[in-house]
Amino acid sequence: MIKYFNPLPIRSLKKKTTKHLLQKDSQLLAETKFPIVTLSGSWRDIVETIHGREDLYNHPDIVLSRAHYSMAIGVAMNAWGKEVWQDRQPANPQKAWLVDPTNYIKRRQWPTAFISELVGRVLARHPKLVEIKKNVLDKKARSKLPLADSITQPLLKLVGQTKQPIISFHIEVGNILAKETKKTIVQAVTDPHVREQYTDFADRKNMFFAVFDDQTRERFLEITALRGKNIDPSHVVVTGPFVDPRVNEAAKNKTSTEWRNRPLRIMLTTGGLGTNKSELNQALDVLLDRLANQIPSNNGKNKQNKQNNQKDDSVRPIQILYYAGTNPDHASLVTKQAKKHQVIISPVAEESAQLRLIYADDIVLANELLIKHGFPWADLVLAKPSGDMAYDAAAAGCALLLLDSWGEWEDNIAGIFSGLGIARQAEIDQLDKQLDFITGDNLEATDKKQIPWLETAIEKALNLPPEYRDGAANILKLADQARS
């Protein structure tokens, strides 16, 4: 059986410890200026360490989505400020605090969380099942996630003493709070797409919505009108996507031409649930074959190598970083491919290495490694057009080759970033030729003055308009507005 997930030592979830963690985070949410709640997965070991309850167990964790974590922590980082981004001081919980109710699920309810992740991971690895997901899960289970009952009580306890507007980064969280409490909620609509469930409680006077762009706002207002809901249009505010300020910082040290004078840096990425595995496996096979047969272009042995069918210095050299997130089968995929092509996987901090892998037990560490070693390094990112990878790659000054999308919302994202000239569809079956095309390596010497697509895409990413960078700051402004 393919290993989609990590072992599950449920016995490590101690009742007294869970209660203690819940009380501590509830207190911090009550005292902070910006309480932020998401539903992305768990990071139980980290929560225990923060609150002085660490133990010898490697606790069970699930991951449902990187996007719902990375956007939420990006907003918290924006509130904490540059001193925290640059690791010069610890986060100040008085300014902002982020929680995920999954961390406080009771031991007896943990199988529900585990099953929710397992179903998502199976669907992510079997594209033919996506239609079932669209036609069944999205229409039925989306109205109430299987996990909803397990997170409701810890969620309500977490925010019980909170007086400030609560920034919600998941539709399920926002709807539970809207239904069960009278608190002011600022709901992030994370994609340029409006699920009807976002509008279930839109007519509440203390509900606010942060949306991607004017078109998304118009669609949101249309859906509420069609559902007969009378809402204040001023409560639906265009903020743009929610990008971590550290990702924006990554673009500041890049130029659109530096890739010409060194190996091309290519990052392959999967999502929180491990999507696009087949495409990524095929792409990695092509890239590793290219990498294994490349030699430095300045070794002066061109003719001899070609005559002896040795390594080829006529192709552009590359370096590869594979982001597997928390998916062990993706990490295994990289290991097997590296062995097949006789390429060494180097430590992630060795940014001059030929091949590196980002893999971690929890989404917090995986995301930190990606932000530190991935986006600042990469020239070109292969990713599905998701609300985390596409937003972040563009904001970090990277060009994008897009893998297959997982739904209408991602089709919308693909259209937007392709329209900006930053992204194009990946041609996985002909990836080698596509790399030659986007770098201009397929051009004759007389045509070399033509600027290749990769250079123009990176240039456009480096000059990405503020509306695609400033969402994290803008949603904090909206929370201030909701407070007044």
User: Do 173 and 29 belong together in one domain?
Assistant: yes
User: Do 41 and 139 belong together in one domain?
Assistant: yes
User: Do 209 and 260 belong together in one domain?
Assistant: no
Residue 381 · residue 267 · CB < 8 Å: yes
Q: What are phi and psi of 81, to 5 degrees?
A: 100, 170
User: Do 343 and 457 belong together in one domain?
Assistant: yes
- Residue at 358 is within a domain: yes
- Residue at 5 is within a domain: no
Name the residue with tokens 């969620």: 155
Which amino acid, 199?
Answer: T
- Residue at 407 is within a domain: yes
347: which DSSP letter? Answer: P
User: Do 142 and 261 belong together in one domain?
Assistant: no
- Residue at 4 is within a domain: no
Residue 423 · residue 399 · CB < 8 Å: yes
* Confidence at residue 445, expressed as pLDDT on a 0 to 100 scale: 52
Domain span including residue 331: 245-465
CATH number of the domain encompassing residue 442: 3.40.50.2000
Q: Collect all residues with Cβ–Cβ distance below 8 Å to 236 and sequence separation of at least 6.
A: 208, 209, 211, 217, 220, 221
Total number of domains constituting the chain: 2
User: Do 256 and 210 belong together in one domain?
Assistant: no
* Confidence at residue 300, expressed as pLDDT on a 0 to 100 scale: 33
Report pTM.
Answer: 0.92
* Confidence at residue 450, expressed as pLDDT on a 0 to 100 scale: 86
Instruction: Give the burial class of 21: count Cβ atoms within 10 A of its Cβ; 0-12 exposed, 13-18 middle, 19 or more buried.
Output: buried
- Residue at 167 is within a domain: yes
d(CA 4, CA 329): 6
Give me 450's structure tokens.
């033509």
User: Do 56 and 198 belong together in one domain?
Assistant: yes
User: Do 15 and 127 belong together in one domain?
Assistant: yes
User: Do 191 and 291 belong together in one domain?
Assistant: no
Residues of the chain short of pLDDT 50, as ranges, are 1-2, 4-8, 140-142, 297-309
User: Do 239 and 249 belong together in one domain?
Assistant: no
User: Do 434 and 475 belong together in one domain?
Assistant: no
d(CA 313, CA 367): 35
- Residue at 185 is within a domain: yes
- Residue at 1 is within a domain: no
Residue 8 · residue 62 · CB < 8 Å: no
- Residue at 350 is within a domain: yes
* Confidence at residue 19, expressed as pLDDT on a 0 to 100 scale: 92
H helix intervals, 239-374: 245-250, 277-292, 302-307, 328-341, 363-369
CATH number of the domain encompassing residue 225: 3.40.50
Residue 91 · residue 145 · CB < 8 Å: no
User: Do 18 and 152 belong together in one domain?
Assistant: yes
Q: Collect all residues with Cβ–Cβ distance below 8 Å to 446 and sequence separation of at least 6.
A: none
The pairing of strands 423-425 and 318-325 is unpaired
3-state secondary structure at position 188: strand
